[in-house]
Structure formats: C-alpha cells, structure tokens
Chains A and B, each alone.
Chain A
C-alpha cells in the first residue's frame, strides 16, 4: 500500500501568550497530538467551532505556521522547509482556497492575471499564447466565460471572486485542494453553486480535498470522511455515513443536534446538552478531556484523564471515556 497523499502525525502547535519574560511560560495549545491522513482522491472534512484549531491545522499543512512538534508528510516525504526544490513541487500539488473571496484576490490584478500568476510561478509557463489558453480553460472550468479574464475583483460578485480563486488554485492541477471555510461567506444559492463546482472538479480530476468548515451540512455533502476537532484535539473521526447516523462523541452529537434544520417539523429545540456554558475552559491549564466542562455525561475520570482516540468500528475512532455506554444507549 502506498503512502497517503498527506499524513499529519502527532502535530502540536503552541502559541506563546503574554509579553516579555512571561512569554515563554504561558502557552496556548492550538493543536495537540493531531493525526490526520488524506488518501489520494478522497475528501476529508474538518469540523469544529471557532477556536478549535481547524484553520491553524490548514496553515500548518501549508507551511504558513511552523509546527511545535510532530510531522507532516507529503507523499511519504517529511516536509522540510529547507529543501526548497521539494517544497516547490509540493506547493504545485497542494493548493488552497480561503474564506474571503475579495480578500484573497489582488485588487489591482485582473482575474486572468491572478490565474496566470499561479501558472507562471508554479509551472513556469511564460509563453503568452499557452498562458492565455490555459487561463481561459481554467476560467471556463469554473463557469466563467473568457470575458471575465479582463475584470477586476471589484467588478465581480462574491461568488464570482470565489470561482476565480478556485480557478487560480486548480489551474496547476493540484493533487490536494485545501478549502478553509471556502463557501462560508456566500449566500445560500451561490454557496450551492460553489459546492457543486467543487464536487464536479474533484470527480473530474480525482483531486483530493481537505475541507475545513463549521457548516456540517456542507461537509456532509462534500466529504467522504469527517474529523471533529475540539480545542485542538481530534475527538472523533468517521466515514460520513457513520458520523451523521451514529456519532459516538457527546460533542459531535451536540454539534449535529444544534444545526437548525430548514423544516419547522424537524426544528425541535436543540437538545439540552447542546446548550452549554460558553465560557471556554482555559486551553492552557485543563487536564483531562477538554470537553468535560461542557459535557452532560462527564464523570470524575473525564476531568483527570485525557481519553485516547479508540477504534469504534470500521474507520471510526472516538476519544471519549464513555463512548461504549453512549453507543449502547443510542
């Protein structure tokens, strides 16, 4: 069996808080012991609330943030920023689309130039004719006709900007596309267009996807596997069907229950355990399960001992001391 496209193992990312001499003493653990695999051609969703570390994870994979501990392997090669030629070839195969459709495009570059810049920087395509052709093909693939190549971001709507950002990321045919909340800023009808576009691109080219989102319904639509993060730790990981039909972690259940459903008959008041004190435990001091202070099922052990990530079925893993009781009761 060949190595997965992307492998993250034991990843810790700490941020120093405070100033001066106290800086080294107070650490915020943004990610703690995160393991993650993205096999070639598969789509993996990362979900969690604000502050759970999902964007830090994306930034660390992209090399925008140095890991404190742990390793990131790309096609079996341990990512090493000092090896510039391999970093360069990895960047060509690993592309990203961010949340803010306006902020991620240079306001002084036309849509065509933005896409061409990626082509030039990553593939060294400088011949004008080839470049124009590839740019037009990339824009066409995201549903923008050739006329859009000459437009500036301010002449485009949010959905169109996001299409340009996707064209810029996919023009070099990456093996893995990372989307960090890429559809969160869009209106519902436009969001559906972009979700469909991403789904089509993945199917057509067999691109793998790491889709980071707080929107569980979109993740359910796009991803084969879902990873749930809570305060920097993976608390559950499961194939899509298993996660949405039989979530094992109380946090995952609360998260799913809290999503308002577009049907008054289903819009029951969110379960009591979804309703929790929103003072987050201080990420720097807590021992035990990070979710314990909010968890309706917490027992003494939960606040003293960190639950390990255990297998709970095919491809399903959960980090909870009481998942077996929860599974038996469901």
Chain B
C-alpha cells in the first residue's frame, strides 16, 4: 500500500547570480514527503538544505533562479505568483525558522500574531480565531496560555517564542510543516521541549520536514532521512537503517565525526579532512570525492547517478553497504 506523496520534488535546481558566476545552491534534487511522516534533511552549512525548501515555498531571494518541479497536493509550486503562493502558505504548508527572536513581530501581541492568518483570510471571525489561537498555544504546551495571548514577544523566553512560532505555523491547519533548524538556537533542555511538541504534532497527523545539521535531533524524530552535500541528496534512507548502515561515505564520515555523550571514547574524533566545495566551484565528478577516503579515479571524473532500492537511495560509485550494484 502506498499513499500518494504530499510533496513531490523533482529535479529542483536553485542558482544564484554572483560576480564569480552562477552559484548552484541546489542542483537537481528529487524527493517525496509522504502524509504523516517526518523527513529529516541533514547537511552542513551551504549544502542547500534550506534553499531547497525556501524554493518550494517561493521564498528564494531575488537574485536566485528556481527550476524543476515541486508539487504540493498535486499543485505545482514553482512559478506561482505571490498571490497564488499566499493562498497555500499557512493553510497547506508552513515554515518555522531557526531564530525565535526574529520570527515574531515585536510590537504586536501574541494573540494578534496568531489570529491574523485566520482573520485576514476570512477563515474565522475574531472571537473564533482567538479560541483557535488558544487551542494552538495549549497544543504546543505553553504554560499559562490564556495570559500569553495578551503578551508581547519580549515577555517570552527563547523556547517559549519558538513554541509560539510553531503554534503560529500550525494555526491555519497546514498539512506540511517545514522546520528549518528549529532548535539550533536553544539550550538542550529547551530543545527537548520543542522536539516533544513536534513529535506530538506528528502523532496528530502532521507531515514534518525537519532541516537540521544535528544528527541527534534527527535520531529522535525522523522516519526517513535525506543527507545533502553540496546541493545534492547523496543518500536517502529510513532513519534506523541510515544510522545502522550508512551507504554513502559522507554519511558514514558525518556519523563518525559526532562527539558522543555516552559509550567508548578515543583521543581523536574522526574528522572529515578538507571542506565542502563552494557553490560556484565546478567539479567534474562526485562533489565529495576530494574529501572521500574511498574515492577512486571514476569518482573524480564522473558524477555518480542516484541508485535506488525499495526504501533507500544513494549517489555513489562505491557505496559502503552490501547489496548495491557497483
């Protein structure tokens, strides 16, 4: 049984004009988000993970060009006008950003910010919208929700503001939430609370795309993981399988380089030498080849195709896991 995907991205590309030529932030990404699942998109700074979903929501900066296709509930998002995009932002897909300090308007009360999406669209009248906003604050577990509605953002702590931002994203009932590093700016104890709110929302049927660089956060929340490197998805797998048996050497190296809070320790971490290519660099072969310990001649010459088995995909000439044709 396989339901239709909620979001279907095919060969999406994002390029920016720079004085040094076109910078390819995203170069040909295809992925699906299924209803009710949490897909984690993992990568380092500059891997294109945020640009990919900003492009899906029509939020690419003015000097960027988006091509390819992103279909949400059957509707093509690439190339929509601002007016058409506004019709699906909030109600079908919503986004939560990293910085909870800047996500809220400082001079508007929390209640106003939560309800304006509902009232401006004419979905609900003011008092019904306020009730809905209250429910949303209760759902994200904010202590003392009723008095919060009349408070200003500066009266809340970082973790509380991030939960308000999540409530704001969910208040119009979107099917998909894109969370871009929602816990990176927060302390670990507060991060635990925000992750629990996201976990509970998913249990209520929300699909979540979790963009993060923190593999610990991924392990606690994701059903499937897409690993991005230099603008491409290099590996996609169910979370448990990815952590147990990574197929791409980059995934394996990334997992090995994380310092652990428990278990055995060695004097040195398994760092990945070198650094990712810049988006304006043109490499003929695999983009990870210069840093890859398994790289062969073919890796430096030919860009690897994405190979797919039932639940997994990997773009590598010499995948680490058995069972891949090589």
Measured CB to CB, the nearest residue on chain A to B259 is A217
With A49-B187, A214-B188, A278-B190 already in contact, the answer to whether A260 and B219 are too (CB < 8 A) is: yes
What residues on A are CB-neighbors of B273 within 8 Å? 193
Query: How far is it, in angstroms, between the C-alpha of A49 and the C-alpha of B159 when the chains are bound?
Result: 12
Query: How far is it, in angstroms, between the C-alpha of A201 and the C-alpha of B243 when the chains are bound?
Result: 32
Query: How far is it, in angstroms, between the C-alpha of A277 and the C-alpha of B143 when the chains are bound?
Result: 7
The total of interchain contacts (Cβ-Cβ below 8 angstroms) comes to 141
Query: How far is it, in angstroms, between the C-alpha of A216 and the C-alpha of B191 when the chains are bound?
Result: 14
Q: How far is the CB of B246 from chain A (nearest CB, A)?
A: 11
- Which of the residues A49, A187, A264, A274 comes within 8 Å of B239, measured between beta carbons? A264
Query: How far is it, in angstroms, between the C-alpha of A196 and the C-alpha of B271 when the chains are bound?
Result: 8
Decide yes or no whether B282 CB sits under 8 A from chain A: no
Decide yes or no whether A192 CB sits under 8 A from chain B: yes
Which residues of B91-117 are within 8 A (CB) of A? none
CB <8 Å contact, B219 and A263: yes
What residues on A are CB-neighbors of B268 within 8 Å? 196, 199-200
CB <8 Å contact, B261 and A269: no
Query: How far is it, in angstroms, between the C-alpha of A261 and the C-alpha of B219 when the chains are bound?
Result: 7
Decide yes or no whether B258 CB sits under 8 A from chain A: yes
What residues on A are CB-neighbors of B269 within 8 Å? 192, 195-196, 221
Map CB proximity to B onto A127-139 as digits: 1 under 8 Å, 0 otherwise: 0000000000000
Map CB proximity to A onto B253-269 as digits: 1 under 8 Å, 0 otherwise: 11101111110010111
Map CB proximity to A onto B189-225 as digits: 1 under 8 Å, 0 otherwise: 1111101100100000000000001111111100000
* Chain A, interface residues (CB within 8 Å), range: 35 or more
What residues on A are CB-neighbors of B44 within 8 Å? 187-190
Decide yes or no whether B275 CB sits under 8 A from chain A: yes
What residues on A are CB-neighbors of B191 within 8 Å? 258, 260
What residues on B are CB-neighbors of A122 within 8 Å? none
Decide yes or no whether A262 CB sits under 8 A from chain B: yes
Measured CB to CB, the nearest residue on chain A to B190 is A278
Q: How far is the CB of A19 from chain B (nearest CB, A)?
A: 17
What residues on B are CB-neighbors of A187 within 8 Å? 44-45, 213
Q: How far is the CB of A37 from chain B (nearest CB, A)?
A: 24
Having A196-B271, A264-B219, A276-B189, one finds 15 other A-B pairs with CB under 8 Å, namely A49-B190, A188-B254, A199-B267, A199-B268, A216-B261, A217-B261, A218-B259, A261-B216, A264-B239, A269-B199, A270-B195, A275-B189, A278-B157, A278-B160, A279-B143
Top 8 A-B residue pairs of the complex, sorted by shortest distance between their CB atoms: A260-B216, A192-B271, A270-B192, A267-B220, A192-B257, A262-B215, A187-B44, A217-B259
